Amino acid sequence: MEKELLKAMYEKKDPKRRRKLFEYFKPLFVEHLSARLTVEIINKELGADFAGMYDVKYIRSRIAKWNHPEPVRKEPVDKIPKAVNEQLPWSEPDELRKQSFKSSKFSKP
C-alpha cells in the first residue's frame, strides 16, 4: 500500500512525495551511504526510476527538521483589553488654523 501511494505521488509530482520517501526509507537515510547508492537502492525497491540525486540531497538537508516532532501550538487566550485611563491632550481645530508659521517653502520672502 505504501509503495503504491509513493509511486502515485511521484507520478503526479506531489509536493509531499519527498517527505513520504523519507518516511518509507528512513533506515536507509539514517545510514551514511553515498547519494548514488541510495538512489539505486530506492529505485530498485520501487521498481522504476522515481528518485534522483536531487531528491536524496533534498531529503538529507531536511532530515534534522523532519526528525523532530512539530511543536504543539497553544490555544490563544482571549485577553480583555484594559481601558485607557490616560487623558490625551485634545487640540482645537480652530486654534490650529490660526497658527501662523514663520516660514514656509512656498511663501515669498
- Give the CB-side neighbour count of residue 8, counting CA atoms within 13 A: 5
pLDDT at 109 over 60: no
User: pLDDT of 36-94, one tens digit each?
Assistant: 999 999 999 888 888 889 999 999 898 888 877 666 677 766 676 666 666 666 667 66
User: pLDDT of 5-47, one tens digit each?
Assistant: 888 888 888 888 888 888 888 888 888 889 999 999 999 988 8
Specify the residue for cell string 532530515.
63
Helix, strand, coil share (%) of the chain residues, nearest 5: 50, 0, 50
pLDDT at residue 7 in the model: 84
Domain ranges of the chain: 2-67
Contact 39, 78 (CB under 8 A): no
pLDDT at residue 48 in the model: 85
